[in-house]
Each structure stands twice: as structure tokens, then as C-alpha cells.
Amino acid sequence: MEGYLQAVIYFGLAIILGGYIGLSRHSKKGLLKIPFGLLVFFFLLMGLVPIFKYAHIEETSSSLRVAASIVLWMAIARIAVYLVVDYILRQKRGVLIPTITRDFGLAIIYFIIAMIVIKHRTNVNLGALLTTSAILTAVIGFAMQDTLGNLFSGLALQMEHPYQIGDWIGFEGIVGKVEGITWKSTKILTRTEELIFVPNNTIAKSTLTNFSRPTPRHIVHIEVGISYNEPPHKARQAILEVLADHPNVLHRPEPSVRVVKYNDFSVDYKIFFATEDVEAEEKTKAEILNNLWYKFRRKGIKIPYPIRDLYHFSPGAMKEEEKKRLLLQEEEILKDLGRIEIFGSLSNEALKQLAEKTKVLHFAGGEKIVRQNDKPGPMYILKNGLCSVTILRGDGIETEIATLCEGQFFGEMSVLTGAPRTASIKAISDASCYEIEKELLSDIFKTYPDTMEKIAHCLMQRKEELNLHISTTSAQTQSKKDNENQLLAKIKTFFGL
């Protein structure tokens, strides 16, 4: 009766633990389902022991006890591995252990446990058992050559350690991030969010590139063709300016631009720069090429293409079309300039004179139009798009202080007083700007001197707002009117008026 009571208790524990595993399979506690499953198996085996014993099947009862002991120690070993590998190393310290390494270690532990328990609990000849196991292993080995090849290739990769989980690797045209290493394959997540399972023996036989070792920094190159009419130094300067503005391009080592080939239609340049963001490498290249188009267009640098277009036209008709296009552009500029407060006092003739010589420049989203502390240059009026105004504080942190929209202007302090740029202006989205040079304003000021007073008033307001962001402790010892008068005097001096 006592034996049957033990059986009921063991079966009851198996049912309770099995129910717990079923309820926790969708939670984090489900990580322990393997050791708990082994414990359920242990309780079931121990529940069968008294049944076979009282049925006078002693040999089976003894075998069940040995099997239960092996399962119990396997469960204990699995719990220990879970605590050390899955909990302490992975969850607490962030150390990722490949699945194949953990499972292979567990297989060795299970084998040792089985041998020790069998040796101490039975009279089985381990030598004969190992010989039989070797023969069986050879038979299985011939039947599972590919699977075993992947297994041992995976173990070899772990011993050589050419990559680890989280590294970016490339081989045979595949580039991706290592997501996991199993008995059979390595899981790689590509830039296009595709999960590829590559057999371990394929990787072991391939030439492998690890973009994350010894450091994630690596050199990237892009090729671009430019017209023969453009001097190399001009093209190189424009390209380096674009690279300097991109956040993913490292400044050490410095980017470089080299002439690599004279083609039939273009001079080919190869651009070299360093980056640490392997995942965004293709995106970085695309953004740089995008920004180069805008930069080349603003600087008048042509990108040639081997296409011949045949037109039938008369010179007179072409000139007439060009005149109409320029007239429509001037009318649009004239209309936009008339909306600007600082040019509100100008006559139609003066505005027309201003519109005739005003340039329209295009900028890509993310490009810096002006940089803080740069040398003096023209002022800009935002035709369309959005721009952010940022300043670099003394601690080296760049802070956004304002957003400019259509119709607002910037760079006026530089073009009017010759002062360096006091802030950086970056295009948030694709933007177009009117560029107004100092020489163009000089003619306007000579005819309409009151325009200088309006601009001085506007400049003073902006300067006070900027000072609030840079320093909140500076004492204001002069009145706003005195500051405007001083600023107006600087403008007159700078323009020689």
C-alpha cells in the first residue's frame, strides 16, 4: 500500500509541474521548460518504480531507478547551465553564448552524468558499452554526413572565433548581422530585413569578411563622374564639403578624393571615407550621392552622361524661350522679395534690380547651408522648405534654438557687418533659397539708406535672442536703441557709406 501511495505522490507532482509548464509557456518563465520537463519525466519514472516492484518485475524496477537518477542529474545540470549561461551571462552581463556552444557543452555533461550513474548503480561493462556505442556512432555517422559536417564546422568556427553574435559579416555576396549560431547553421539578418540560414560548413569553406573586427570602423568608397571642364581642385573641394556635413562620415582618418580614370565623357573620381555604421552604409552612400547632386548644381559643376539629343530649332526661337523663362523667374523672385519686411520700403524699380541679380540655390535635406564661425558670406531668404538654427555651446554641444520657414532670412549679420557666422543653418527637408551678395546690397543701400535702419533693427532683435541662448549672465549696460545705432554704424562702415 505504501508503494502505491508513493506512486500516486510522484504522479501527482508530475501532473502539477506539467500543468505549470503549460501555463508558463508564453512567459519568460518558459525558459525553464526543459529542466522542468526533465523533472516531470523523473517523477513519472519514480512513480512507475513501486508499480513494477510490487508486480515482482525487479529488473525493470531497477532500470527505472537508474534512468530516473540520470534524468534527475540532467535536470540539475540544465538548471545550473540556465543560471550561469542564460541568466547571469546573457541577461545580467549581456554576454551572448552561441546555442551550439551551450548545447555541445550540455551534451558532454549529459554523457558524463550517464556514465557515472551507470557505473555506480549497475554492473554494466562500460568498455563493452563504449565499443558498441562507437560502432553505432560510425553507422549513424555515414548516414548523417552533411548534418555532422555542419555540426563540426560550427564547432570549428566557435574554436577559431572568426565572428560572434552581433557582428556584421560578408561572404559570397551576402552581408548581414549574425543573429545566432546553431548546430546546423548560422542565422544572418541582411540589410533588407531578410533572415538567411547559412549551413556552417558553407561558411567554414568561404572567405569571410568581419566588418565589426577589430573595430567597426572601415573605409567605404564611391565613384562619381564629373565634366572635363571642371578643375580637379574645384570638384574635390565640393565633394569634401559634402562629406564634412554627413554625420556618419568620420573625420579621422580624413576623407580623400582621387582621380582614377579619364573616360570618354567624364573624369572619374573615387571618394574614400571612414564610417562605423555598417548597417547604414548603403543609406549613407545614397545620401552622399544625393547631396552631391545639389552641391554640384549650386557650384555649376556638370555631371555628364553619354546621351546625344538631337534638336531642330532656330536660334531666334531658343532665345525667345530663354527670355520667357528668365522673365517668369524674375517675376517670382520679385513677388517673394516684396513680402520680406526688410525690403518693404523699396520701390518696384529697386526690387526689380534686386530680383535680376538674385540667385536661387537648392539644398538637400540634412545639408548645412552655413556653419557657425565660418568666414563672412551672403545672406539667404528661404524660398521653400524648413531649416533649423543651431549654435555650438562652449561645452561642445550643438543646440537647436529655432526653426525657419518660408519667407524668413538668415546670414544677414555676416553679409552686412563682415562678422563670422554666429550660428549654423541646416536644411531639415529639401529647401530652396535666394542668395543675396554684399555687392548687390551695396547698390540698394546707396539709393535707399532707410533700408539699413530696418535691417539694423531686425539684426538687433535676433542678436539679443541669440545671446539669451549662449549666456544668461551677461549684463546689458546699453539700451536697445544705442545698440541699434552702433550696429547701423558698423553696416555703414563695412559698405563704405
pLDDT band at 452 (very low <50, low <70, confident <90, very high): confident
371, 282: one domain: no
168, 224: one domain: no
Would you say how long the chain is, in residues? 497
Q: Could you give the percent of the chain with pLDDT greater than 70?
A: 75
Mean per-residue pLDDT, 460-465? 69
Higher pLDDT, 39 or 383: 383
Q: pLDDT digit string (tens) for 310-369? A: 555 555 555 676 677 777 778 888 888 888 877 766 777 778 888 888 888 999 888 899
274, 400: one domain: no
Domain end point (choices 194, 210, 226): 210
In this structure, of 88-102, 103-117, 291-305, 417-431, the range with the lowest mean pLDDT score is 88-102
What confidence score (pLDDT) does residue 223 get? Answer: 94
360, 490: one domain: yes
Q: How many domains does the chain have?
A: 4
Q: pLDDT digit string (tens) for 192-203? A: 888 989 887 888
What confidence score (pLDDT) does residue 427 get? Answer: 93
In this structure, of 361-365, 411-415, 425-429, the range with the lowest mean pLDDT score is 411-415
pLDDT band at 150 (very low <50, low <70, confident <90, very high): low
Q: What per-residue string of b and e applies to 162-181 under the rule 16 or more CB within 10 Å gives b?
A: ebbbebbbbbeeebbbbebb
Residue 260 lies in a domain: yes
Q: pLDDT digit string (tens) for 236-256? A: 999 999 999 899 999 989 999
39, 172: one domain: no
480: region left, alpha or beta (phi > 0 left; psi from -120 to 50 alpha) = alpha
pLDDT at 133 over 80: no
pLDDT band at 18 (very low <50, low <70, confident <90, very high): confident
pLDDT at 131 over 50: yes
First to last CA, the chain: 118
Residue 53 lies in a domain: yes
Q: pLDDT digit string (tens) for 159-174? A: 667 788 888 998 888 8
Closest to 461 in 3D by CA, of 420, 425, 409: 409
467, 335: one domain: yes
Q: What distance in Å separates the CA atoms of residue 325 and residue 279, rounded to the nearest whole number? A: 45
CB-based contacts of 338, cutoff 8 Å, min separation 6: 344, 351
In this structure, of 74-88, 266-280, 403-417, 446-460, the range with the lowest mean pLDDT score is 446-460
434, 376: one domain: yes
CATH of the domain at 225: 3.30.70.100
pLDDT band at 189 (very low <50, low <70, confident <90, very high): very high
Residue at 419: amino acid letter: A
Mean per-residue pLDDT, 470-493? 62
pLDDT band at 30 (very low <50, low <70, confident <90, very high): very low
Domain end point (choices 92, 109, 143): 143
pLDDT at 142 over 70: no
CB-based contacts of 218, cutoff 8 Å, min separation 6: 211, 274, 275, 278
Count of CA atoms in the C-beta half-sphere (13 A) of 19: 5
Residue at 163: amino acid letter: Y
Average pLDDT across the chain, whole number: 79
Residue 93 lies in a domain: yes
CB-based contacts of 295, cutoff 8 Å, min separation 6: 238, 239, 241, 242, 301, 367
Percentages of the chain per state (helix, strand, coil), in multiples of 5: 55, 20, 30
What confidence score (pLDDT) does residue 462 get? Answer: 65
pLDDT at 273 over 70: yes
Mean per-residue pLDDT, 427-447? 86
Q: Could you give the percent of the chain with pLDDT greater than 90?
A: 19
Q: What per-residue string of b and e applies to 444-460 under the rule 16 or more CB within 10 Å gives b?
A: bbeeeeebbbebbbebb
Place of cell 520657414: 405
Residue 424 lies in a domain: yes
118, 237: one domain: no
CB-based contacts of 272, cutoff 8 Å, min separation 6: 219, 220, 221, 255, 256, 257, 258
Residue 247 DSSP class: T
CATH of the domain at 489: 2.60.120.10
CB-based contacts of 193, cutoff 8 Å, min separation 6: none
Residue 150 lies in a domain: no
Q: What distance in Å separates the CA atoms of residue 417 and residue 478, rounded to the nearest whole number? A: 20
CATH of the domain at 191: 2.30.30.60
136, 198: one domain: no
| Residues 380/433, Cβ–Cβ less than 8 Å | yes
Residue 304 lies in a domain: no
pLDDT at 158 over 70: no
355, 420: one domain: yes
Q: Dihedrals φ, ψ of 114, to 5°?
A: -60, -45
At 159, which helix (H) or strand (E)? helix 145-160
What confidence score (pLDDT) does residue 236 get? Answer: 93
Residue 320 lies in a domain: no
Q: What distance in Å separates the CA atoms of residue 369 and residue 386, rounded to the nearest whole number? A: 12
Closest to 358 in 3D by CA, of 262, 439, 258: 439
In this structure, of 205-209, 262-266, 453-457, the range with the lowest mean pLDDT score is 453-457
Which residue range is the domain that position 227 belongs to? 218-299
What confidence score (pLDDT) does residue 296 get? Answer: 93
Residue 488 to residues 292, 453, 472, 478, 484, Cα–Cα distance (Å): 39, 7, 25, 15, 6
pLDDT band at 14 (very low <50, low <70, confident <90, very high): confident
What confidence score (pLDDT) does residue 49 get? Answer: 74
**Positive or negative: CA dihedral 143, 146, 147, 148:** positive
Mean per-residue pLDDT, 218-222? 92
Higher pLDDT, 49 or 399: 399
What confidence score (pLDDT) does residue 241 get? Answer: 92
Residue 373 lies in a domain: yes
Q: What distance in Å separates the CA atoms of residue 127 and residue 125, rounded to the nearest whole number? A: 5
225, 199: one domain: no
CA angle, 231 then 266 then 261, to 5°: 85
Q: In what order do the strands lie in the sheet with 195-199?
A: 195-199, 185-190, 174-181, 168-171, 209-210
What confidence score (pLDDT) does residue 428 get? Answer: 92
Q: What distance in Å separates the CA atoms of residue 290 and residue 222, rounded to the nearest whole number? A: 12
Higher pLDDT, 58 or 251: 251
340, 358: one domain: yes
pLDDT at 293 over 90: yes
What confidence score (pLDDT) does residue 416 get? Answer: 83
What confidence score (pLDDT) does residue 26 get? Answer: 56
| Residue 434: strand pairing partners | 360, 381
